[in-house]
Amino acid sequence: MIPFLDLKAQYSQIKPEIDAAVARVIGSGHFVLGPEVTAFEGRFAGYCRTAHCRAVNTGTSALHLALLTAGVGPGDEVITVSMTFVATTAAIIYSGAKPVFVDVDPVTWTMDPGLIEAAITPRTKAILPVHLHGLMADMDPIMAIARRHGLVVIEDAAQAHGAEYRGRRAGSIGDLGCFSFYPGKNLGAFGEGGAVVTDRPEFAHRVSLLRDWGQEAKYDHAIPGYNYRMDEIQSAILNVKLDYIESWTEARRSAAEQYNALLSELPFARPQPPGHARHVYHVYAVRLEERDHALSLLRDAGIGAGIHYPVPVHLQRAYAELGYRAGDLPVTEMLANDFLSLPIYPELQPEQAAEVVATLRNAAMLRPSEAVGARAEHPQSVMTWSHNRRAS
Ligand SMILES: Cc1ncc(COP(=O)(O)O)c(C=O)c1O
């Protein structure tokens, strides 16, 4: 059995510290927006190399408040991607704005900057790239386009704690950066959590107000707000975990390197981070045409595998009103068809990664395919299993 994710393994390493931190909060009688939250905000801002951090109750709330803080509202358009978790789109809709999807790059799987300018209209207010699977989007051209057109940039860094682009941390390049601390994230709470980071003090102040009913002081409501506060127990847990995030991230990166080496003889696409990037491997995905077959074989072998994401947001029933159709975002749709996420977490052992790859290889041998070769229209596309079958 190799689980897709092993949260118990992580807890067992740091149990005494976590238990003490939780007990300390319970003993303090202070449960929401207290000293643990303030301490976490200071430390997480430092980790992201930003001036400010405001902790909130979920990553979705972080995105919602970042959009409101940037002045996004009804009648506006926000350029984003459809190859993401649905929360990115949902937050734009919560703000009253309309999501406008551009396709992703077939190699990095993040927002294709070459498609942004064609999507800009007089209503465009912001660009919201997603650092998918832990690899940052191509931020330099995105920022250049945004500055040229007077647009705000909000980074969805929910999957990218500690990721870097040309030496700059996720969340620190755009005007605002948003994180999730959902338990399975690289930095995960024991419940829900999120944060907005920014260098601009007026933005940080706005997020502070919006997350807590718009209160400047108790019962002094300066603006209408929300109850998006982070609680003390989650912050206390995150304060403990923040001491480990770098070593955990390096362990993820080692596991990814091992997968890269083991998979190099199998002809399907692996993550290809640019040389300047620090990929933090929240997800390690490969691409293969016979994905569903491989997924079921892995699962039969007791190996947790997943798909991130099988149906892109623009083709979800919930967002049919946006008017997109199959074929509108060809790279996104291709990835949704052939992405396969392998187990990855800091505690994944080398022999476990080897077993995952051995199972994939066996699957390849058992299933000759009718189709062969890379798909002509997408040179970076995956090849089929049969292409790799060797005489034995
Ligand atoms: C890319 C992305 N954006 C936003 C979110 C929303 O975060 P949360 O679940 O904390 O609301 C998630 C994760 O769930 C995510 O993966």
Span 289-299, pLDDT tens digits: 889 999 999 99
The reply to whether ligand 1 has any atom less than 6 angstroms from the CB of 230 is no
Atom 10 (ligand 1): residue with closest C-alpha? 59
Span 157-170, pLDDT tens digits: 999 999 999 999 99
Span 319-357, pLDDT tens digits: 999 999 999 999 999 999 999 999 999 999 999 999 999
How would you classify the pairing of strands 220-221 and 215-217? Answer: antiparallel
How would you classify the pairing of strands 98-102 and 77-81? Answer: parallel
Q: How confident is the model at residue 97 (pLDDT cuts 50, 70, 90)?
A: very high
Walk me through the domains of the chain, giving residue ranges and CATH numbers. Answer: 7-242 (3.40.640.10), 245-383 (3.90.1150.10)
Cα–Cα dist 257/116, whole Å: 32
Q: How many CA atoms lie within 13 A of 130 on its CB side?
A: 30
Asked if residue 193 lies in contact with residue 211, where contact means CB atoms within 8 angstroms, the answer is: no
Atom 4 (ligand 1): residue with closest C-alpha? 87
The reply to whether ligand 1 has any atom less than 6 angstroms from the CB of 130 is yes
The reply to whether ligand 1 has any atom less than 6 angstroms from the CB of 91 is no
CB within 8 A of 89, min separation 6: which ones?
Answer: 80, 82, 99, 313, 319
pTM of the model: 0.94
The reply to whether ligand 1 has any atom less than 6 angstroms from the CB of 111 is no
Cα–Cα dist 298/293, whole Å: 9
CA of 257 to the centre of ligand 1 (A): 25
CA of 87 to the centre of ligand 1 (A): 6
